[in-house]
């Protein structure tokens, strides 16, 4: 799937959003929507690869975590290099998306006092978006103070040199399958084992509390996999990796979330979350465009919806996008290449030549956009047929907008959901299947 920033479809979408913004600032009362259009742009176009740093002792399972998250062997596992190796940022690639990754077995490894300094300076120079602090489940109580010292020096170095806020820390209790009872190794685990896993999480939590370290979550994980020579998974004893993917996703800045959502194997859930934010953001803009007392609705709405659908198609892993878009256009009657139309319209609108489009209400504009957006998620992300997609569209349209969708977006920040971090965005509502039921 061609989906890089140089992709002509992306520049088309970017151009359409720029045109939209130019139009909206010219229309009385709609200027404030420009910020919302920019927030949409950040979601659809300006994404960048996430930067993830893993620290943890040798053999704590850092490389295995990367493989488990991406569902492929992207890093060698086991004793592959010596402890004095310098950590380096590398690109892990999956689904033609990238994760920037760096890991270090700790600042003291190799017994080189200058090493700590160098590691800290590499991370301070190019700060990670999120720090994975990896502790083997059997070692949550063994020498943990040294590990926490390492973590603290890294956070302090980033803060001191970069002047930046230190990155959020996701603590990972690794290799949980090694807790008792040892057998079976393979999930699902017995109640007794689950309870021991929970205990190890609690122990680590208490160490963080005692040392006054704030972590965004503590996630227990088993990441053991064996791969065929082509990299595909042969043995899969992963446990709770989806929860880790979600925790990392939540800790990332929004600009890096779409790329992570594409690269992680747990990605359908995450891609749906990004898509929902695109749909809520667009629906909110559509509402205010529809409600504005100027008859330009359709001229603005069609390309706006086109960009929304295009943005959702960027999150698809269904193969040839050209084929998908053609089928979508034929089945749904909305050409997502509608940006061109806006360009022509924008020129006229900027001169404010009145009279095109028909005025429709905000609710109608928002309802149609919402239904179209959820249908696009069903089609591009959930893999529905075009007939199922049409049914979804009709069903959501009949059900109407969820009551809370626009309630917190009245005057000043109509589409703020699009700009908020995941954990706060009310409109996105996780998978939010609820309001999709008839």
Ligand X SMILES: Nc1nc2c(ncn2[C@@H]2O[C@H](COP(=O)(O)OP(=O)(O)OP(=O)(O)O)[C@@H](O)[C@H]2O)c(=O)[nH]1
> Exactly one of 16, 60, 240, 246 binds ligand X (CB under 6 A); which one?
60
Pairing mode, strands 130-136 and 169-174: parallel
**Stretch of 62-70, 255-263, 324-332, 352-360 contacting Mg ion, by CB under 5 A:** 62-70
Smallest gap, in angstroms, from Cβ of residue 177 to ligand X? 5
Tell me the C-alpha distance between 305 and 55, whole Å: 43
Beta carbon nearer to ligand X, 64 or 254: 64
Beta carbon nearer to ligand X, 63 or 305: 63
**Residue 318: Cβ within 10 Å count:** 14
**SS3 at position 188:** coil
Three-point CA angle 4, 51, 126, nearest 5°: 115
63 binding Mg ion? (CB under 5 A): yes
From the list ligand X, Mg ion, none, pick the one residue 78 interacts with, judged by a Cβ distance below 5 to 8 Å according to partner type.
ligand X
Tell me the C-alpha distance between 370 and 284, whole Å: 9
From the list Mg ion, ligand X, none, pick the one residue 223 interacts with, judged by a Cβ distance below 5 to 8 Å according to partner type.
ligand X
Smallest gap, in angstroms, from Cβ of residue 387 to ligand X? 43
Tokens of 267: 């990605």
**In this structure, what are the phi and psi dihedrals at residue 93, rounded to the nearest 5 degrees?**
-115, 135
**Stretch of 58-66, 163-171, 282-290, 429-437 contacting ligand X, by CB under 6 A:** 58-66
Peptide bond into 116 cis (omega under 30): no
77 binding ligand X? (CB under 6 A): yes
**In this structure, what are the phi and psi dihedrals at residue 209, rounded to the nearest 5 degrees?**
-60, -50
**SS3 at position 136:** strand
67 binding Mg ion? (CB under 5 A): no
> Exactly one of 5, 11, 31, 58 binds ligand X (CB under 6 A); which one?
58
Smallest gap, in angstroms, from Cβ of residue 56 to ligand X? 6
**Stretch of 220-228, 251-259, 261-269, 326-334 contacting ligand X, by CB under 6 A:** 220-228
Tell me the C-alpha distance between 45 and 7, whole Å: 10
> Exactly one of 42, 59, 205, 337 binds ligand X (CB under 6 A); which one?
59
Q: 170 to 199, contacts with ligand X by CB under 6 A?
A: 174-175, 177-178
**In this structure, what are the phi and psi dihedrals at residue 25, rounded to the nearest 5 degrees?**
-70, -20
Question: Could you give the string, one character per residue 249-268, with x where binding to ligand X holds by CB under 6 A and - elsewhere?
Answer: --------------------
36 binding ligand X? (CB under 6 A): no
> Exactly one of 10, 21, 41, 63 binds ligand X (CB under 6 A); which one?
63
Smallest gap, in angstroms, from Cβ of residue 62 to Mg ion? 5
Beta carbon nearer to ligand X, 102 or 419: 102
Residues 6+ apart with CB under 8 A from 149: none
Beta carbon nearer to ligand X, 26 or 227: 227
438 binding ligand X? (CB under 6 A): no
> Exactly one of 62, 207, 272, 321 binds ligand X (CB under 6 A); which one?
62
224 binding ligand X? (CB under 6 A): yes
From the list ligand X, Mg ion, none, pick the one residue 179 interacts with, judged by a Cβ distance below 5 to 8 Å according to partner type.
none
- Output helix, strand, coil percentages for the chain, rounded to the nearest 5: 55, 10, 35
Beta carbon nearer to ligand X, 78 or 113: 78
357 binding ligand X? (CB under 6 A): no
Residues 6+ apart with CB under 8 A from 293: 29, 359
Smallest gap, in angstroms, from Cβ of residue 134 to ligand X? 7
> Exactly one of 47, 87, 105, 281 binds ligand X (CB under 6 A); which one?
105
Residues 6+ apart with CB under 8 A from 162: 124, 125, 127
Q: 38 to 57, contacts with ligand X by CB under 6 A?
A: 56
DSSP string, 228-289: -TTS-EEEE--BSHHHHHHHHHHHS-HHHHHHHHHHSTTHHHHHHHHHHHHHHHHHHHHHHH
**Residue 195: Cβ within 10 Å count:** 11
Tell me the C-alpha distance between 111 and 67, whole Å: 28
Smallest gap, in angstroms, from Cβ of residue 222 to Mg ion? 16
Residues 6+ apart with CB under 8 A from 86: 118, 119, 122
> Exactly one of 148, 222, 270, 336 binds ligand X (CB under 6 A); which one?
222
Give the dihedral sign, CA 411/413/415/420.
Answer: negative
Beta carbon nearer to ligand X, 61 or 128: 61
From the list ligand X, Mg ion, none, pick the one residue 58 interacts with, judged by a Cβ distance below 5 to 8 Å according to partner type.
ligand X
- Binding residues (CB under 5 A) for Mg ion: these are 62-63
- Binding residues (CB under 6 A) for ligand X: these are 56, 58-64, 77-79, 105, 174-175, 177-178, 222-224
């Amino acid at each position: 799937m061609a989906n890089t920033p140089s992709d002509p479809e992306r520049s088309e979408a970017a151009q359409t959003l720029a045109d939209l913004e130019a139009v909206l600032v010219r229309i009385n009362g709609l200027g404030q929507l420009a910020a919302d259009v920019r927030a949409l742009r950040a979601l659809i176009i300006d994404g960048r690869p996430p930067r993830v740093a893993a620290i943890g002792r040798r053999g704590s399972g850092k490389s295995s975590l990367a493989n488990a998250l991406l569902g492929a062997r992207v890093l060698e596992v086991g004793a592959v290099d010596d402890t004095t190796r310098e950590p380096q940022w590398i690109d892990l690639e999956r689904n033609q998306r990238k994760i920037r990754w760096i890991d270090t077995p700790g600042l003291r490894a190799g017994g080189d006092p200058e090493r700590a300094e160098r590691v800290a300076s590499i991370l301070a120079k190019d700060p990670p978006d999120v720090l994975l602090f990896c502790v083997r489940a059997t070692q949550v109580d063994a020498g943990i103070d040294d590990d926490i010292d390492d973590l603290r020096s890294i956070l302090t170095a980033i803060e001191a040199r970069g002047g930046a806020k230190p990155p959020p820390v996701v603590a990972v209790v690794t290799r949980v399958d090694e807790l008792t009872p040892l057998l079976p190794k393979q999930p699902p685990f017995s109640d007794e084992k689950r309870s021991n896993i929970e205990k190890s999480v609690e122990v680590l939590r208490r160490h963080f509390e005692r040392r006054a370290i704030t972590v965004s979550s503590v996630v227990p994980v088993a990441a053991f996999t064996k791969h065929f020579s082509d990299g595909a998974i042969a043995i899969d004893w992963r446990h709770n990796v989806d929860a880790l993917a979600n925790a990392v996703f939540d800790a990332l800045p929004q600009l890096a979330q779409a790329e992570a959502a594409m690269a992680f194997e747990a990605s359908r859930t995450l891609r749906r979350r990004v898509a929902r934010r695109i749909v809520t953001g667009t629906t909110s803009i559509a509402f205010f465009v529809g409600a504005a007392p100027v008859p330009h609705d359709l001229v603005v709405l069609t390309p706006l919806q086109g960009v929304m659908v295009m943005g959702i198609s960027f999150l698809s892993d269904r193969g040839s996008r050209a084929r998908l878009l053609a089928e979508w256009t034929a089945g749904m009657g909305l050409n997502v290449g509608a940006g061109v139309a806006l360009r022509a319209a924008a020129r006229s609108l900027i001169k404010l030549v009145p009279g095109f489009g028909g005025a429709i209400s905000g609710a109608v504009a928002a309802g149609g956009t919402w239904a179209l957006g959820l249908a696009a998620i069903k089609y591009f992300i959930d893999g529905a047929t075009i007939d199922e997609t049409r049914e979804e569209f009709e069903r959501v349209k009949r059900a109407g907008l969820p009551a809370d969708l626009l309630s917190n977006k009245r005057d000043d920040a109509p589409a703020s959901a699009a700009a908020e971090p995941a954990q706060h965005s009310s409109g996105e509502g996780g998978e939010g299947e609820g309001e999709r039921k008839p």
